[in-house]
Amino acid sequence: MKVRIILFSIIVLTIGELAAQDKPRHFSKEDIIARKWSFIMEKAKLSQADVLKVEPLFKETELEIWSLIEKNRAAFKNSRKKDANVKVDYEAINDAMVNFELENAQIQKNYYLKLKKVIAPEVINRILSAEKAYKRELIQNVPNHKRGMNPPPK
C-alpha cells in the first residue's frame, strides 16, 4: 500500500512538472489527458458503447486530479527552495502530501462508484488495469531520458 502511494505521488509530481516546464516538447493538460485516455481505450479494449459511457467520467476525474495538483503546487514548491535564508515549512509540506493522498483517494473512489453505475465489473477491472499499466509505463520512461522531454505513453 505504501509503495502504491509513493509511486502515485511520484507520478503526479512528475506529470505536474512535465506540464509546468517550458521545453520545446511542452504538453498541455489536455494533451496528457487525451494520450492517457487513448492508451486506456486501447489497452482495456473498450467497446464504442463503453467509450461513450466512460469517457466523460474519466475526463471529469482527470480534471479533478489536476485541480488537486494545482491546489497543492505551492506547498510542493516550498520543498525545493534553495535559499538558505528561507526556512522550509516541512509541516505544511507534510500536511499537503497527506491531504493530497486522502483527497486523491476520495476522487478515485468516486470515479469507481460512478463507473459501477454505468458499466460491468469486468470492464471496470480492465480500465483500472489499463490505468495502472499507463502509470507503470510512464515511470519506466522517465529515467531513460531527461525529465520533461518524454511524451506520455500513447
- Largest CA-CA distance found in the chain, in angstroms, rounded: 58
Q: What is the pLDDT of residue 63?
A: 93
User: What burial class does residue 58 get, using C-beta atoms within 10 Å of its C-beta: 0-12 exposed, 13-18 middle, 19+ buried?
Assistant: buried
Handedness of CA 43, 34, 61, 50 (dihedral sign): negative
Is residue 70 within 8 A of residue 56, CB to CB? The reply is no
Least confident of 35-39, 89-93, 144-148: 144-148
Dihedral of the alpha carbons of 123, 129, 46, 13, in degrees to the nearest 10: 130
43, three cell numbers:
489497452
Tens digit of each residue's pLDDT (9 = 90 or more) over 103-117: 999 999 999 999 999
Q: What is the pLDDT of residue 21?
A: 54
Q: What is the pLDDT of residue 3?
A: 63
pLDDT band at 97 (very low <50, low <70, confident <90, very high): confident
Dihedral of the alpha carbons of 76, 77, 78, 83, in degrees to the nearest 10: 150
2, three cell numbers:
505504501
Instruction: Answer yes or no: pTM beyond 0.75.
Output: no
Tens digit of each residue's pLDDT (9 = 90 or more) over 11-62: 666 666 655 554 545 678 888 899 999 999 999 999 999 999 999 999 999 9
The domain spans of the chain are 2-144
